[in-house]
Amino acid sequence: MALLFRLRLVIFFMFLVALFYGLFRPTPPPDLFGDSDKYMHLVAFFCLGVSARFAFVRLPGAWVWGALLASAPLLEYLQHYFQPHRTFSWFDALANAGGVLLALGCWLLARWPGVRGKE
């Protein structure tokens, strides 16, 4: 059981490091298509949300999801202080929050009694 807990923490911190690299690197990632950065924000925060909930499954869900939702605009805002030539974008902050909400929705759906099958 301790090994599984450690593995969940390692996966969460890997996603966290990748997210911090993407948000605070000197140059923004290249645009693969129109508004591709918004999709990257959405996917990054979705992965962070799912991994955080698995890593901290014993904490109350409101704390985990609340912290993730608070970090969504905060991390976007802090970009400017770590990389002055990068600017805050409300659309990026909304994509961040959208990723967290999508993760929350998937988490709730997976925990819905009828989804897991008959026990």
Global confidence as pTM: 0.86
| Stronger pLDDT, 23 or 42, i.e. the higher one | 42
pLDDT digits (tens, 9 = 90+) for 60-90: 989 999 999 999 999 999 988 888 888 888 9
CA 88, CA 79: separation in Å to the nearest integer? 7
Q: Are 82 and 31 in contact (CB under 8 A)?
A: no
pLDDT band at 114 (very low <50, low <70, confident <90, very high): low
Residue 118 confidence (pLDDT): 52
Over range 41-46, report the average pLDDT: 94
Over range 21-29, report the average pLDDT: 82
